[in-house]
Chain A
């Protein structure tokens, strides 16, 4: 009798566990559907892009607010970078070419993490080798560190032979016409992916 009761208890526990598991599986399968067409990661709600005042490679003060009405691609790096930055900037240039005339409303801003070497003129020449419309930003170590903190960007100086290099965040922020950070594109996405997301933002 006690064996039968114990067996019945086991069956009941198994049944309860199975039912709970089924419920959890079905709940996971019926969550809200997705709708984003962005290739980048998107923020909800979007926050206003923290502004800054840096020396622009175009000879003017560089502020995000200057580009209200345009879609901004904001990236961080340094002109001596041999791996990540050339790929990222070439991708931006290719994406702008894909957009055709609409690219006039896309502004690339590239903020250096290496103020020691990246003076405005050097940045201008470096960026012009990809696209003459790109604008670089530089400033003091403290100014640039403050900007990176606001955007959650990391950069670390690494001594290398007689000089140094940097490891730095490799993603790109996509800022909409209203100056809000809408998306973040991890490194490695194609010009098509950028063109896709820029097109979405340009149409808004």
Chain B
């Protein structure tokens, strides 16, 4: 009984410590690049009727943390991303400085559209908590997609 209480207290303490760190530690990132790769064969797959959904149709950037969109066209044909015509092998690097939702047309996406939500820097404990929770969920989703 006592051992069980000790375990519960340890788990609760760890959870609280984790929450406190998530809320209080400043959000930092070694790189501010959010990289998107358009894989080789995307266009050919789409032309053959395959609904390629390699790029998400909605993505989020955060000012001061990850606010530079980097697109890399590895396909063998030019790709249009919004205003950008990218030749094969070319990359495009677009920094954002205003928090807003940006809608771009994108031939690399089956829906033909992509929304980029640029959010303000998470400067408050609640915002940091929310940002870290979202990042955790996003990375976990990517990881699970990669594994399966």
Enumerate chain A interface residues (CB-CB to B < 8 A). Answer: 17, 20-21, 24-25, 28-34, 36, 38-45, 47, 151-152, 169-171, 184, 186
Are A41 and B84 closer than 8 Å at their CB atoms? yes
List the B side residues contacting A30 at CB < 8 Å: 30-31
Contacting pair B33 A32 (CB below 8 A): yes
Docked-complex contact A44 and B91, CB < 8 angstroms:
yes
* A21, B140: Cβ atoms closer than 8 Å: yes
Residues from chain A with a CB closer than 8 A to the CB of B143 are: 17, 20-21, 24
List the A side residues contacting B68 at CB < 8 Å.
34, 36
- Does B3 belong to the interface (CB within 8 Å)? no
Question: A31-B31, A34-B68, A36-B93 known; 17 other A-B pairs, CB under 8 Å?
Answer: A21-B136, A21-B143, A24-B139, A25-B136, A28-B29, A29-B31, A31-B35, A34-B33, A39-B97, A41-B84, A41-B93, A41-B94, A43-B86, A45-B90, A47-B90, A184-B83, A186-B83
Compute how far the CA of A34 lies from the CA of B35 in the bound complex, rounded to whole angstroms.
12
Query: Does B87 belong to the interface (CB within 8 Å)?
Result: yes
Q: Which chain A residue has the least Cβ–Cβ distance from B142? A: A24
| B9 at interface, CB cutoff 8 A | no
A152 to chain B: closest residue by CB:
B85
Counting chain B CB atoms within 10 Å of each CB, which of A41, A45, A151 scores highest? A41
Of A42, A151, A170, which contacts B92 at CB under 8 A?
A: A42
> Nearest residue in B to A171 (C-beta to C-beta)?
B83
Residues from chain A with Cβ under 8 Å of B135 in the complex: 25
Partner of A29, one of B29, B80, B90: B29
Residue of B nearest to A36 (CB): B93
Query: Which of B82, B86, B94, B140 has the most CB atoms of chain A within a 10 A radius of its CB?
Result: B94
Interface size class of B (residues with CB under 8 A): 20 to 34
Q: Give the contacting residue for B90; candidates A25, A34, A44, A151; CB below 8 A.
A: A44
Ordered by A's residue number, 25 sampled pairs between the chains whose C-beta atoms are within 8 Å are A20-B143, A25-B135, A25-B136, A25-B139, A30-B30, A31-B30, A31-B31, A32-B33, A36-B93, A39-B95, A39-B97, A41-B69, A41-B92, A42-B92, A42-B93, A43-B90, A43-B92, A43-B93, A44-B92, A44-B93, A45-B89, A47-B87, A151-B85, A152-B78, A152-B80
Q: List 9 A-B pairs, minimum CB-CB distance, nearest first.
A: A152-B85, A41-B94, A31-B31, A171-B83, A30-B30, A29-B30, A44-B91, A42-B93, A152-B80
Measured CB to CB, the nearest residue on chain B to A186 is B83
- Is A38 within 8 A of B95, CB to CB? yes
Closest to B83 in A: A171
Chain B residues 83 to 111 lying within 8 A of chain A, measured CB to CB, are: 83-87, 89-95, 97
Within 8 Å CB of A43, what residues of B?
Answer: 86, 90-93
* Shortest Cβ gap from B98 to chain A (Å): 8
Q: Which residue of B lies closest to A29 (CB)?
A: B30
Which residues of A have CB within 8 Å of B31?
Answer: 28-34
Assembled-state Cα–Cα distance A38/B96 (Å): 11
**Chain A: minimal CB distance from B103 (Å):** 12
Determine which of A17, A36, A47, A152 lies in contact with B95 in the assembled complex, contact meaning CB atoms within 8 Å.
Answer: A36
Chain B neighbourhood of A184, CB < 8 A: 83-84, 92, 94
Option from B30, B80, B85, B91 in Cβ contact (under 8 Å) with A33 = B30
Q: Does B60 contact A (CB under 8 A)?
A: no
